């Protein structure tokens, strides 16, 4: 099985290396940089191939000379060593020629870079915020915001279920953008440094707390594009994928409307009182998405790193302090301020859940209205 796979791959490697036109093979085995679907990604791909072939050409000359020398200039063939050991002319030639080749590469590289860094005249701005370990998206012009986190179940990660097609590259709420529009992304982070990267969109940009970086994408084909966080950001760095769905104008408009309706409903829900059962159900969902990565599904945490919530001092102490900690986080630790990420309902539900799950049984209920007041 493995041998067969290795053979297949070897064939693919050779195929990819020998032929510039092995695009189908490359796509199948993921050998090369994707050409992508944005002007930027195509520029990057063209530069990549240009430099690659320049390197191959130099390698053929240098390794070729070396190989000939190794074959011919052996003591075992009775060769007497020559004694030449310098030539200023030759040294000058092999300093100037590589320099000129570099200039030849620098010119298109500069052009590509200037285009990539030009974020002016965008049609739409979306703020991208990195959290440990998920992404937040704010559609600045439309007032929509949501958080996007990994939707692959834990059972698949721990080999208790077979892995799906998009294992680790699937999220609950993908970023949706219109095709053929210049979308400016304002990239920042809330806790540590992350990096937003979708290979087929051609660029990555670090998400840095306290700073806002800009990048732009113009997706030219409808479809779903997948990427991952590309800057080590702690324990679940490998588990915060990015999914971008590019829709045509009509579908994008429909999606936008649906989002607005949903966010209005959420706002209305925050006005009423919730029952214990409703809060616990909603709370468990929120807990699984936002809290379980550190504090674990069973609330027992990880000793030395993430405190236990089961029987914890905060979760069984005064509810106002508990709520306050969840909203504002704890400086100097991995405990984030969730006030900015979660709605009033979610915060009320998750605090209620933590105070009553795993035998904590405080009986306390926190209502969305209390959260609003505590903010």
Partner 1 sequence: MSTATTHDAHHEEHPGGLLRWVFTTNHKDIGTLYLLFSLLMFMVGGAMAMIIRAELFQPGLQFVEPQFFNSMTTMHALIMIFGAVMPGFVGLANWLVPMMIGAPDMALPRMNNWSFWILPFAFAMLLSTLFMEGGAPASGWTMYPPLVLQTGDAFPFLIFSVHLMGISSIMGAINIVVTIVNMRAPGMNLMKMPLFVWTWLITAYLLIAVMPVLAGSVTMLLTDRFFETSFFNAAGGGDPVMFQHIFWFFGHPEVYIMILPAFGIVSQIIPTFARKPLFGYSSMVYATASIAFLSFIVWAHHMFTVGMPLTGELFFMYATMLIAVPTGVKVFNWVSTMWKGSMTFETPMLFAIGFVVLFTIGGFSGLMLAITPVDFQYHDTYFVVAHFHYVLVTGAVFSIMAAAYYWMPKWTGNMYDERLGKLHFWLSTIFVNVLFFPQHFLGLAGMPRRIPDYAVQFTEFNQISSIGGFAFGLTQLLFVYIVYKTIKGGEKATDQVWEGAHGLEWTLSSPPPYHSFTTAPEVK
**Which residues within the stretch 54-113 sit at the binding site for partner 1 (CB under 8 A)?**
55, 58-59, 62-63, 65-66, 69-70, 73-76, 79-87, 90-91, 94-95, 98-99, 102, 105-106, 109-110, 112-113
* 270-299 residues near partner 1, rule: CB under 8 A: none
Residue 155: exposure state from Cβ atoms within 10 A (0-12, 13-18, ≥19): exposed
Q: Which is nearer to partner 1, 168 or 327 (CB)?
A: 168
Neighbouring-strand partners of residue 177: 246
Chain positions 179 to 208 lying near partner 1, rule: CB under 8 A, are: 187, 191-193, 195, 197, 199, 202-206, 208
Are 196 and 185 in contact by the 8 Å Cβ rule? The answer is yes
β strands within 132-193, DSSP E: 134-139, 144-148, 175-178, 183-189
The residue to which tokens 């799950």 are assigned: 357
CB of 209 to partner 1, least distance (A): 5
Nearer to partner 1, 127 or 235 (CB): 235
Binding mask 214-253 for partner 1 (x = CB under 8 A): x-----------xxxxxxxxxxxxxx--------------
What would the two tokens of residue 238 be?
């490998």
Tokens for 246, please give them: 């590019």
Which residue from 21, 107, 120, 158 is in contact with partner 1, where contact means CB under 8 A?
A: 158
Give the separation between CA 211 and CA 216, rounded to whole angstroms. Answer: 17
191: nearest Cα among 126, 136, 125: 136
- Asked if residue 265 binds partner 1 (CB under 8 A), the reply is no
Candidates 358, 349, 370, 355; CA nearest to 280 is 349
Distance in Å, CB of 11 to partner 1, minimum:
12
Least distance from partner 1 to the Cβ atom of residue 314, Å: 19
DSSP character for 183?
E
Nearest CB to partner 1, comparing residues 106 and 267:
106
By CB under 8 A, tell whether 48 contacts partner 1.
yes
- The residue whose two tokens read 């660029």 is 203
Cα–Cα distance between 239 and 245 in angstroms, integer?
19
Least distance between partner 1 and beta carbon 277 (Å): 34
Shortest distance (Å) from residue 237 CB to partner 1: 6
Q: How far is the CB of 285 from partner 1 (least distance, A)?
A: 23
Q: How far apart are CA 286 and CA 342, in angstroms?
A: 9
Paired residues of 145 in beta bridges: 138
Q: Which of residues 306-325 bind partner 1 (CB under 8 A)?
A: none
Measured from the CB of residue 203, what is the shortest distance to partner 1 in angstroms? 5
Total residues belonging to the chain: 375
Output 39 or 284, the one with its CB closest to partner 1.
39
């Amino acid at each position: 099985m493995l041998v067969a796979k290795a053979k297949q791959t070897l064939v693919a490697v050779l195929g990819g290396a020998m032929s510039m036109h092995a695009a189908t093979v490359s796509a199948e085995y993921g050998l090369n940089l994707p050409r992508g679907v944005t002007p930027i990604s195509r520029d990057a791909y063209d530069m990549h191939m240009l430099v690659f072939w320049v390197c191959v050409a130099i390698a053929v000359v240098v390794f070729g000379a070396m190989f000939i020398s190794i074959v011919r200039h052996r003591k075992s063939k009775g060769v007497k060593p020559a004694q030449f050991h310098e030539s200023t002319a030759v040294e000058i030639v092999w300093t100037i020629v590589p320099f000129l080749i570099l200039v030849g590469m620098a010119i298109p590289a500069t052009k590509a870079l200037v285009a990539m860094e030009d974020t002016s005249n965008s049609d739409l701005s979306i703020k991208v915020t990195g959290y440990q370990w998920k992404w937040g998206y704010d559609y600045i012009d439309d007032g929509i915001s949501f958080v996007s986190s990994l939707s692959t179940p834990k059972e698949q990660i721990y080999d208790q279920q077979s892995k799906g097609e998009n294992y680790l590259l699937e999220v609950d709420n993908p970023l949706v953008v219109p095709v053929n529009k210049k979308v400016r992304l304002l990239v920042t982070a809330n806790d540590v440094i992350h990096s937003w990267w979708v290979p087929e969109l051609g660029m990555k940009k670090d998400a840095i707390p306290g700073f806002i970086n800009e990048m732009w994408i113009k997706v030219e084909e409808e479809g779903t594009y997948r990427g991952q966080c590309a800057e080590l950001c702690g324990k679940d760095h490998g588990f915060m994928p990015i999914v971008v769905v590019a829709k045509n104008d009509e579908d994008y408009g429909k999606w936008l409307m649906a989002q607005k309706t949903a966010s209005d409903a959420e706002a209305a829900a925050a006005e009423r009182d919730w029952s214990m059962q409703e809060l616990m159900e909603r709370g468990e969902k929120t807990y699984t998405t936002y809290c379980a990565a550190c504090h674990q599904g069973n609330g027992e945490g990880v000793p030395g790193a993430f405190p236990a919530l089961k029987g914890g001092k905060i979760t069984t102490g005064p509810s106002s302090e508990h709520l306050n900690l969840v909203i504002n986080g704890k400086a100097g630790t991995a405990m984030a301020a969730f006030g900015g990420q979660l709605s009033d309902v979610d915060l009320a539900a998750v605090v209620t859940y933590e105070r009553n799950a795993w035998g904590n049984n405080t009986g306390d209920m926190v209502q969305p209205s209390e959260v609003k007041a505590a903010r």
